[in-house]
């Protein structure tokens, strides 16, 4: 499975609705999409059902930079909190 990225204009910013798997192989593509629409961005993680450790660390880095998440599964949030890297 791959990662599908859908751009949705919203309140002067962009919502990126992600679907599928968030793995290390997808991070460059996602990083490029975020750079196109920064600074007001929301990542909608409703349809993310698989994430690897690189994806978790990338999400943590995005959150540190002010990227907002919506609909983040509790297991992903827990993994982000537990990761010590």
Asked if residue 36 lies in contact with residue 61, where contact means CB atoms within 8 angstroms, the answer is: no
Number of domains in the chain: 1
State which residues form the domain around 40.
3-9+16-73
Interatomic CA distance for residues 77 and 85, integer angstroms: 15
Does the residue 23 lie in any domain?
yes
Average pLDDT of the chain to the nearest whole number: 90
Does the residue 78 lie in any domain?
no
Does the residue 45 lie in any domain?
yes
Q: How confident is the model at residue 43 (pLDDT cuts 50, 70, 90)?
A: very high
Asked if residue 59 lies in contact with residue 31, where contact means CB atoms within 8 angstroms, the answer is: no
14-27 per-position pLDDT tens digit: 899 999 999 999 99
Does the residue 80 lie in any domain?
no
- What's the CATH number where 51 sits? 3.30.750.24
Does the residue 82 lie in any domain?
no
3-class secondary-structure state, position 68:
strand
């Amino acid at each position: 499975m791959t990662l599908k990225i859908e751009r949705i204009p919203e309140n002067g910013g962009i919502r990126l609705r992600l679907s599928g798997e968030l793995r290390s192989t997808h991070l460059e593509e996602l990083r490029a999409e975020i750079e196109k629409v920064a600074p007001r961005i929301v990542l909608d993680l409703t349809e993310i059902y698989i994430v690897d450790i690189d994806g978790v660390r990338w999400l943590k880095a995005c959150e540190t930079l002010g990227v907002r998440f919506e609909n983040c599964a509790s297991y992903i949030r827990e993994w982000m909190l537990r990761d010590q890297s």
